[in-house]
Amino acid sequence: MDSLVNECDVVVIGAGLSGLSAAYYLHKKDKGLRIIVLEAKDRIGGRTLTRQLAAADGTKDFWDLGGEWAGRPQPHLQYLLRKFNLNTFNPVRPHDGRQLSDLTTLTLQTRCDLIQFTWKLKSLQRKLTGVDLKMSVNALEYDNCSFDKYKEENLWTQTAKTIVDSACKCMFGLEPSEMSLLYFLMYVKAAGGLEIFLHPKEFTGSECRIKGGVQQLSSHLVQKIGKKCVYLSQPVSHIVQSIEGARVITTNNVQVLCQRIILAIPPHHIAAINYSPPLAPAKLGLFQSVPLAFIVKFAVTYEEAFWKKDNDRHHYGFQAVLDNDEGPVGIVYDASSGRGNPALAGFISSFQGLDSDPKNRRATIMRLIEKLLGPECQKILEFSQMDWSKEPYNGGCFLRSIVPGATKYFNNELREPFDRSVVFVLISLVAPEKKNFLYYSCHIWISKTTG
């Protein structure tokens, strides 16, 4: 695309799964539509990223350093996988052994404290069932209280507080002080309730992986849309609306005239665009009220799956919590590929002492794994990591929360179009259920274009 003015019917801003799914389903419904997809980064895929690493069979194999899980409760994602002839495989997943609910190593006081805390959270959740958040007195109270404040007021043992802090970092990539009590309750409820986190079971949307990696989905979507319609390295700087339509302008001074715009990018990047007429203060403030999560995902390949030498791990698969001196900071699991090449993968959240330098961070990750599995873990073929907080035009993974005081407005405000041309798509924030972001990136556009 050159700097001349281009014309189309619909501009989709963002070439992650959400934006590409939007373009795909619009094209499928009306092949006469002229669609242009503008992506700020130099690649497609958004929060999915597949890398090739050295494997035990002497070749390169594929591992995902972004979203990777699919499952039977995700019919719209499964539809796309079948449509594009992408195969999944069922890795051995643990259904026994240590879970977040395993409190046997804790003191009686700490166990009682955590159990009572869980009961209180379940009780609060029930009060929100079937209510209008904007009109609910309970929702207002919960939204004005940070999850950290509620934790401090309702837990009385320091160990229990540390466990809850660590669980938040592992689940959200955020500190308890960065989210409201209301957001926490809404997220957990959308995921199926606290039991999903305390007692992980099969068929929660994370039992399958895609052979060859998730990023194939984006590549297939682009092929269907047409490569000539997708333009990389085009950060959008201005959106100007008028009676005749809308004008999208990028930092490279590329201009596109269109009738409709679909914004499928992170909230803080939506807020960074200049709008004419300007965004309503309430909507702009909401987009600016979404802190970023800090998650580093890693994959380590090996000649052999040494962790399977332990009978328990061999029988039940392998997944474990990574601990540092202050408590859990992440997860590691058996990530052997669909071709059977052994690997470990996982993620860590920010904690005191975690270096931002990739080499030092790698050493920290391997030290945590060695603490769990022993020195044999250091005999690696290849190590790869992705710090999603440093990814250009992404800035955080896997979740974003809304700051205390704003959550009760997010469902209606974020869904509302702006003026006549702009539609906002914020999958990980407005999805009515929270199975995972791969699912909803694909789901919302089937609903809107076939309904």
> Which CATH class, in words, describes the domain spanning 50-73+205-212+292-390?
alpha beta
* pLDDT tops 50 at residue 314: no
Which residues sit in the known binding site for substrate?
347
Could you tell me which residues are annotated as the binding site? Answer: 18, 39-40, 236, 347
What's the Cα-to-Cα distance from 122 to each of 138, 177, 366, rounded to whole Å?
Answer: 14, 20, 37
Environment class of 156 (CB within 10 Å of its CB; exposed 0-12, middle 13-18, buried 19+): middle
| Cross-strand partners of 208 | 70
Let me know: does 369 contact 377? Beta carbons within 8 Å. Answer: yes
What is the CATH T-level fold of the domain 108-198, as seen in this structure? Guanine Nucleotide Dissociation Inhibitor; domain 1 (1.10.405)
Residue 248 confidence class, pLDDT cut points 50, 70, 90: very high
Candidates 172, 315, 228; CA nearest to 37 is 228
Q: Are strands 255-258 and 69-70 parallel, antiparallel or unpaired?
A: unpaired
Annotation: binding site for FAD: 18, 39-40, 236
Number of H helices, E strands in the chain: 16, 20
Inter-residue contact 275 to 326 (CB < 8 Å): no
List CB contacts of 193: < 8 A, sequence separation 6 or more: 122, 125
Architecture of domain 5-46+214-290+402-450: 3-Layer(bba) Sandwich (3.50)
- The winner for highest mean pLDDT among 106-115, 171-180, 182-191 is 106-115
pLDDT tens-digit map of 132-148: 666 677 888 888 899 99
Cα–Cα distance list, 189 to 85, 125, 126, 161, 418 (Å): 33, 7, 9, 21, 29
> Measured between alpha carbons, how far is residue 78 from residues 72, 288, 440 in Å?
7, 34, 12
Q: Give the per-residue pLDDT at 211.
A: 94
Residue 167: beta bridge partners? Answer: none
SS3 361: helix
**Number of neighbouring beta carbons within 10 Å of residue 325:** 8
> What residue spans define the domains of the chain?
5-46+214-290+402-450, 50-73+205-212+292-390, 108-198
Q: What residue type is 337 in one-letter code? A: S
- Give pLDDT tens digits for 115-137: 999 999 999 988 877 666 666 77
Q: Quote the pLDDT of residue 101.
A: 43
Sheet holding 255-258, edge to edge: 5-7, 255-258, 246-250, 236-241, 274-276
Question: Among 196, 205, 190, 115, which residue's Cα sits nearest to residue 154?
Answer: 115
Assess contact for 47 and 292: CB atoms under 8 A: no
> pTM value?
0.82
Does position 406 have pLDDT exceeding 60, yes or no?
yes
